[in-house]
Amino acid sequence: MNFKKIHEAVTFATKVHEGQTRKSTPIPYVTHPITAAIYIQPSLDRAGFTEGEQEDIIISTILHDVWEDTDTTLEELRDKFGKEVMELVKGASEADKTKTWHERKTATIEKVPEASLALKYVILADKLHNLVSMLEAKEQVGDKIWESFKGRRDLQEWYYTSMYEALIDGMNPIPDLFQEMKKHIDEIFKR
């Protein structure tokens, strides 16, 4: 594993996400992609990825929001981290921020079943960490958590449930980490 390249991705993400924070918290945003990468790393070898593929997935997870949420271009990602990383980041991103929230989420869900397994792991890492963060917030503030989502608990439930179904489409058996996502969805949205 090329730890220097992973370190470069962490440094790059830290710089471009500077000043950004996690939803409704003072926590630096960069903690999200780094934590997401830590979550999936142990599962990648079991999934049969080569060392080089694992490296690209980890780096892409660290960088998964830089094209969507900063001024970073796809060309810059390709030049710094290679074509595969650029493609995975692009695949994990919502390209058209002019669309409504629901249109963007629907478009993302619709493309996931055809995604490569590598891209599914990048997306899974992002969503899994989001769910863990939501669960922590729900434990702290209860149903007030939905205020940071404009009160739309139902839309969040639709989105995460639909994303899970899209991610596991065609998988048999369903890998443990994907099942972990389902457990978190069930726990957060239980009535």
Active site amino acids: 68-69
Name the amino acid, one letter, at 150: K
User: How far is Cα 86 from Cα 115, in angstroms, rounded to an integer?
Assistant: 15
**85 beta partners:** none
Kindly tell me the sign of the dihedral angle through the C-alpha atoms of 108, 111, 114, 118.
Answer: negative
The two structure tokens encoding residue 1: 């594993």
Classify residue 21 by its DSSP letter.
Answer: B
Contacts of 142 (CB under 8 A, 6+ apart): none
